Amino acid sequence: MSNNDIFKKLRVALMLRDDDIVGILELVDFKISKSELGAFFRKEDHPKYMECGDQILRNFLNGLVIYLRGTKENPKNPGEVLLKEKGHTSKKPPFKKRRFDSKKPDITPVKYKNKGKPRT
């Protein structure tokens, strides 16, 4: 598994956009542009594809630790950080569990008027 694959999987799993990744890299004083970042997420056969080096992935992981946990002087709760970034302020998950409601009528298939007629 290449550094690009690891970077892509972390990006998808944490639902990070390019702006977020640039901000995370700036936490460790590593500056990168969005276009350079986009080159890492392209397919390998694309002409503008670029290999993600060890230094970039290492700095991203170090920045991610600061982004999620905070520093020793200013610790954070990772769960709260992720929920706040996605627009949720409560500690509860952003989804509701579905409950079975026995009062709702059964859904039966609709009978078609053109049942015996052939299609044209």
Kindly give, in sequence order, each residue whose CB lies less than 8 Å from that of residue 29, ignoring residues fewer than 6 positions away: none
Judge whether 65 lies within some domain.
yes
Number of H-type helices and E-type strands within the chain: 5, 0
Tell me the whole-structure pTM to 2 decimals.
0.64
Q: Which domain holds residue 22?
A: 3-85
pLDDT of residue 54: 92
118: in domain = no
Asked if the structure places residue 108 within a domain, the reply is no
Count: domains in the chain: 1
Report pLDDT digits (tens) over 4-40: 999 999 999 888 899 899 999 998 999 999 989 999 9
Which pLDDT value is given to residue 46? 92
pLDDT band at 58 (very low <50, low <70, confident <90, very high): very high
Quote the mean pLDDT of the chain: 78
Residue 31 lies in a domain: yes
